């Protein structure tokens, strides 16, 4: 009988914006002809860990797994991107052994409330004056960029928004977009860049100007835990790294949580957090950290699983634009497909 093996392999992959991205790929072989792949791709300037730390952690974990150790992920708690890579690789391997898509395994751990539905994808656009890790460069012609996304079939667009002296100009541009596309669902993401006082004022202006679907992380991670009385629906992102934060924010102003497996420790950790959000009447949105195809495909599979478990209704659009050539991607949609695992075939 062949022995199982594992290896953490540095690779350069293509990110959702078409650029090169250094990652660590985790390969798990069961010795019976099945291989599972995971990916660690922490985003510099955003993720709580880094690529070097992820590789060291995965080297140690892979050696233990190959030597007959269990599938436990607790040793990777301090390196969430490594934990995500191991979690995805284990799920991918098991799904390939069973001949099923990865989301089917996740649904075995949850309580499906409806058939797996296709999930809309939210496009991403940066407003002029916003420069953040991984985010796309702001277009020179914002109305033209939005029109292109609408023609492609996107019904939801998230705009990266800033503050300071650029905010009035950004607000004017958003008004122009709303006037031209009155049916477009518009999300905003401030990435925690506003003070609570600024947030209350700007959220009021945004509600009056464009009636956004939601605003992500208007204030800092800890500040959002006690933020209240927002005139627009809010979503939590960076705050979710804090212990107990999902329950705290969804009991107050947040109607949604933005789940990024690479930051939160993998699909199964995100599935657990979604249960807490759902229990408080909040929604879950799956997003990414601009990683490679393996991480992106696994996030698509998570989005499909959450679409079947959301007790409130049809899923909110996922923040998973990019990597359009994935099996699950069909234009501005993620759709369940007859694949094994996450569906990405990685060369050795």
Q: What is the per-residue pLDDT across 189-239, written as a single tens digit (0 to 9) for each?
A: 999 999 999 999 999 999 999 999 999 999 999 999 999 989 999 999 999
- pLDDT lower than 50: segments of the chain: 1
Pull the structure tokens for residue 135.
């985010």
Handedness of CA 192, 198, 199, 204 (dihedral sign): negative
The burial of 91, by beta-carbon neighbours within 10 Å (0-12 exposed, 13-18 middle, 19 or more buried), is given as: buried
Strand partners, 119: 334
Are residues 343 and 326 in contact, defined by beta-carbon separation less than 8 angstroms?
yes
Q: How many CA atoms lie within 13 A of 255 on its CB side?
A: 14
Contacts of 146 (CB under 8 A, 6+ apart): 125, 157, 177, 180, 181, 184
Distances (CA, A) of 347 to 8, 9, 11, 168, 222: 14, 11, 11, 49, 42
Give 76's DSSP letter: G
pTM of this structure: 0.96
CA-CA-CA-CA torsion sign (150, 156, 162, 168): positive
Token output for 274: 């979604």
DSSP string, 98-111: HT-BHHHHHHHTS-
Phi, psi dihedral angles at 249 (to 5 degrees)? -75, -30
Q: Residue 129: what pLDDT? A: 84
Euclidean distance between CA atoms 19 and 250, whole angstroms: 35
Structure tokens at 269: 């950790």
Domains and CATH numbers, the chain: 5-99 (3.30.390.10), 119-334 (3.20.20.120)
Q: Which pLDDT belongs to residue 1?
A: 46
- The predicted-structure confidence for 269-282, as pLDDT tens digits, reads as follows 999 999 999 999 99
pLDDT of res. 344: 97
Q: Strand 283-286 relative to strand 254-259: parallel, antiparallel, unpaired? A: parallel
């Amino acid at each position: 009988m062949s022995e199982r093996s594992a290896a953490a392999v540095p690779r350069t992959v293509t990110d959702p914006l078409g650029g090169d991205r250094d990652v660590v790929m985790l390969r798990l072989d069961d010795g019976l002809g099945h291989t599972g792949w995971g990916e660690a791709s922490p985003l510099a300037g955003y993720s709580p860990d880094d690529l070097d730390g992820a590789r060291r952690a995965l080297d140690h974990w892979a050696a233990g797994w190959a030597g007959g150790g269990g599938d436990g992920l607790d040793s990777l708690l301090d390196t969430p991107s490594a934990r995500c890579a191991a979690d995805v690789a284990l799920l991918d391997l098991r799904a390939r052994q069973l001949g099923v898509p990865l989301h089917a395994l996740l649904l075995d751990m949850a309580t499906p409330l409806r058939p797996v539905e296709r999930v809309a994808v939210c496009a991403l656009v940066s407003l002029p004056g916003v420069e953040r890790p991984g985010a796309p460069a702001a277009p020179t012609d914002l109305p033209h960029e939005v029109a292109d996304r609408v023609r492609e079939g996107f019904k939801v667009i998230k705009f990266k928004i800033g503050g300071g002296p650029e905010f009035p100009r950004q607000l004017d541009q958003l008004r122009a977009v709303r006037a031209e596309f009155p049916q477009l669902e518009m999300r905003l993401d401030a990435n925690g860049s506003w003070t609570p006082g600024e947030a209350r004022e700007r959220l009021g202006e945004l509600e009056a100007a464009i009636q956004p679907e939601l605003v992500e992380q208007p204030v800092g991670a800890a500040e959002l835990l006690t933020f209240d009385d927002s005139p627009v629906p809010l979503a939590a992102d960076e705050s979710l790294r804090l212990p107990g934060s999902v329950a705290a924010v969804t009991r107050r102003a947040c109607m949604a949580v933005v789940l990024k497996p690479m930051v939160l420790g993998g699909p199964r950790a995100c599935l657990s957090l979604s249960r807490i959000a759902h229990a408080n009447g909040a929604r879950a949105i799956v997003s990414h950290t601009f990683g490679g195809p393996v991480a992106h495909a696994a996030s698509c599979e998570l989005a499909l699983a959450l679409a079947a478990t959301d007790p409130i209704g049809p899923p909110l659009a996922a923040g998973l634009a990019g990597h359009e050539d994935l099996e699950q991607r069909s234009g501005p949609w993620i759709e369940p497909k007859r694949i094994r695992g996450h569906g990405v075939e990685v060369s050795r």
